[in-house]
Amino acid sequence: MIKAGIIGSTGYAGQELVRILVGHRETQIKWFGSRSYIDKKYSEVYRNMFQIIENNCLDDNMEELAKQVDVIFTATPQGLCSSLVSEEILSKVKVIDLSADYRIKDVKIYEEWYKLKHQSPQFIGEAVYGLCEINRNDIKNARLVANPGCYPTCSTLSIYPLIKEGLIDLNSIIIDAKSGTSGAGRGAKIDNLYCEVNENIKAYGVTVHRHTPEIEEQLSYAANKEIKINFTPHLVPMNRGILITAYASLSKDVSYEQMKAVYDKYYQNEKFVRVLDKDICPETKWVEGSNYVDVNFKIDPRTNRVIMMGAMDNLVKGAAGQAVQNMNLMFGLKESMGLDLVPMFP
């Protein structure tokens, strides 16, 4: 049995991790970390866990945690994980960070976009970017995994095959993204109040969203060349779900069948990436509650552009599900263990 501790178990990403790990037959959650609910029953914070979890919430005592568990998940605000990790901790326990602290390899770029001083830059080089479909082998040997951001997961997986195969103009990529409000976390913020969000849709973080450099870095690895993108997220009035619509100019003539073969080349053996049939557009409702990313594309011959689309659940493949996928790889388990979650509908 893997013993797991979750720092930030009372947030939206943390509670999704709890929900998934409760159903994981090789894992036992030993530590339900919290800042605001210390000594309160977890099932009083999340009543869906009534009679399922009897534990109390605990503080984020890393030293004590490291003695008691095999893996620590940090589902906490940006900057916290990097202030807790040390060589001593990493020598005792594996860490999977759901925040962005170790996702960006250039610390200056992290500090510039996050407006934070990085607390342990010495571990950035070692951390493995946990996009399982692309970095599987490195993840298996990692002590520290940077679980990818939600928008970057959906964007990268939707665009990656076409970059790898040199089918798109690298200077022409535009990503339009939409997210449900659980992406913003459980903390009270005026922008996320019912009256602000309901019956509304708005762009935010235009040109300055912190996921821009993360997506650029991942796409640049795929291209082996520096890429800049336009990335515009929108907040939509739903609980869960991310939809990506990305645009790029084609760099060569390519038919539907050829492009489909490219997506299949990368994803036909990937359980969690589903390349949809011709003309079927990904929808958030068909992936909700699951670890799937649905992707598809359409070529527009009038403009010589391709439109790439992706949909996933921000809390599952975009956060907790991917974190469990990473844990499975790090502990030599079947990659999909605990993640056979059939999408919920309606």
Ligand X SMILES: CC(=O)N[C@@H](CCC(=O)OP(=O)(O)O)C(=O)O
Tell me which residues touch ligand NDP (CB under 6 A).
7-8, 10-14, 34-37, 60, 75-78, 80, 98-99, 149-150, 182-183, 185-187, 314-315, 318-319
Residue 186, number of CB atoms within 10 A of its CB: 14
- The three-class DSSP label of residue 79 is coil
Which residue lies nearer to ligand NDP by CB, 210 or 305?
210
Shortest gap between Cβ of 280 and ligand NDP (angstroms)? Answer: 25
Decide if residue 154 touches ligand X (CB under 6 A).
no
DSSP result, 12-78: HHHHHHHHHHHT-TTEEEEEEE-SS-TTSBHHHHSGGGTTT--PBEE---HHHHHHH-SEEEE---T
Peptide bond into 346 cis (omega under 30): yes
Decide if residue 69 touches ligand X (CB under 6 A).
no
Shortest gap between Cβ of 147 and ligand X (angstroms)? Answer: 8
5 binds, among ligand X, ligand NDP, none (CB under 5 to 8 A by kind): none
Does the annotation mark 154 as catalytic? no
Decide if residue 161 touches ligand X (CB under 6 A).
no
Q: CA–CA separation, 104 vs 124, rounded Å?
A: 8
Task: State which of residues 184, 261, 307, 333 lies at the interface with ligand X (CB under 6 A).
Answer: 184
How many residues of this chain interact with ligand X, rule: CB under 6 A?
Answer: 9
Which amino acid, 103?
R
310 binds, among ligand NDP, ligand X, none (CB under 5 to 8 A by kind): none
Angle at 284 between CA 165 and CA 6, to 5 degrees: 90
Which residue lies nearer to ligand NDP by CB, 250 or 321?
321
Shortest gap between Cβ of 145 and ligand X (angstroms)? Answer: 14
Which residues contact residue 136 at a Cβ distance below 8 angstroms, ignoring those fewer than 6 apart? Answer: 329, 335
Shortest gap between Cβ of 311 and ligand NDP (angstroms)? Answer: 14
Decide if residue 183 touches ligand X (CB under 6 A).
yes
77 binds, among ligand NDP, ligand X, none (CB under 5 to 8 A by kind): ligand NDP
Give the helix/strand (H/E) hosting 160: helix 150-164
Decide if residue 233 touches ligand X (CB under 6 A).
yes
Which residue lies nearer to ligand NDP by CB, 150 or 163?
150
CB 295 within 8 Å of CB 158: yes
Of 57, 81, 132, 150, the active-site residue reads 150
Give the helix/strand (H/E) hosting 298: strand 293-300
Which residue lies nearer to ligand X by CB, 179 or 296?
179
Residue 60, number of CB atoms within 10 A of its CB: 20
Residue 258, number of CB atoms within 10 A of its CB: 13
233 binds, among ligand NDP, ligand X, none (CB under 5 to 8 A by kind): ligand X
**Residue positions annotated with a catalytic role:** 150
